Amino acid sequence: MLLPKNRVKLLLNMLIIAGQTIPRGGALTVDPIGAGETMGFRISASGLNARIPHAVPALLEGTSENGSIDAHAVQPYYAGLLARACGLRVSLTAEGDAIIVATV
């Protein structure tokens, strides 16, 4: 079964965001949440100095600290738009030495 186009775009954008949480490299692990057209995703990003980039959570919610979206901010902002179009939200949480990027 193929996923709807916006869910595939969301997953790819979430992978880019997860990669940004491990600036020195590491490993990304993707797990599905649910099944079928309501499927969500959980990405675990583990690596040296894993961290949540400062502005990303707000951008995922559709807000910007300074009111504008620049080239660095467009990726999480767009991922948030895609998530909302799918009826989801994207969250970032720290779990031990990993950052979890997940749909909720």
Backbone angles phi, psi at 6, to 5 degrees: -70, -30
Hey, how many other C-beta atoms are within 10 angstroms of the C-beta on 42? 16
The pLDDT assigned to 1 comes to 62
pTM, two decimal places: 0.92
Residues 27-62 pLDDT 10s: 999 999 998 888 999 999 999 999 999 899 999 999
25 pLDDT more than 90? yes
Residues 53-91 pLDDT 10s: 989 999 999 998 888 888 888 999 999 999 999 999 999
